[in-house]
Amino acid sequence: DGCTSLGFRRRCAARAFATSAAYDSAIASWFNGELGETAPVVCRAYAHEMPLKYGCNPHQKPASISRPISGALPFQVANGTPGYINLLDALNAYQLVAELKQSLDLPAAASFKHVSPAGAAVGTPLTAGEAAAYEINGEVTPLALAYLRARQADPMCSFGDFAAVSDVVDVATAMVLKKEVSDGIIAPGYEP
């Protein structure tokens, strides 16, 4: 009959109002910057970036991550769909390992579960007894040692953890991670 559906018109209206709101927010921010004063009300516009696996707990409706319209998220999800708690674990664990690396100038790793550290460590050499206990044969990198030490601080609590490492994940660290059950890993990069 040549008419548009009610659903289509609603989607168009929602997009138009969202665009207007983002524009108004940009203008208000510009004026506040020009005046050098703190605004009584701050308006920010966000764009949906990605859905999460679920809310705080698996029985809750999925949450989502949004980013400021004029910016980007400070991380990328390379594979899978994290949950809300996974993101909290990742961000808190990464902050810890970044501070350890900056303070001690050693590779650092952490194992986080439910927004609490199950283990954190730096990459120092293993004793012969530790190497035997961790079932390490041969050489491993300092980063792999850091994760091994962090994970082994409490292996039961670390099951299904979110791992964080301070350096680019090398092959040796990837091989250690591969043996464990983790929900994810956050790192500044990954070797090909």
As a whole number of angstroms, the distance between CA 45 and CA 23 comes to 9
Question: Would you state the pLDDT for residue 153?
Answer: 92
Give the containing element (helix H, strand E) for 183: strand 182-186
> Closest by alpha carbon to 66, among 81, 52, 82, 86?
52
Asked if residues 147 and 165 have their Cβ atoms less than 8 Å apart, the reply is yes
Model pTM score: 0.76
Mean pLDDT, each 10-residue run in order, the chain (192 residues): 87 90 82 72 79 81 84 88 91 96 97 94 91 83 95 92 96 91 94 89
Question: Would you state the pLDDT for residue 119?
Answer: 96
> Closest by alpha carbon to 169, among 112, 91, 94?
94
As a whole number of angstroms, the distance between CA 141 and CA 164 comes to 16
CB atoms closer than 10 angstroms to residue 84:
18
Question: Would you state the pLDDT for residue 38?
Answer: 67
Question: Would you state the pLDDT for residue 123?
Answer: 95
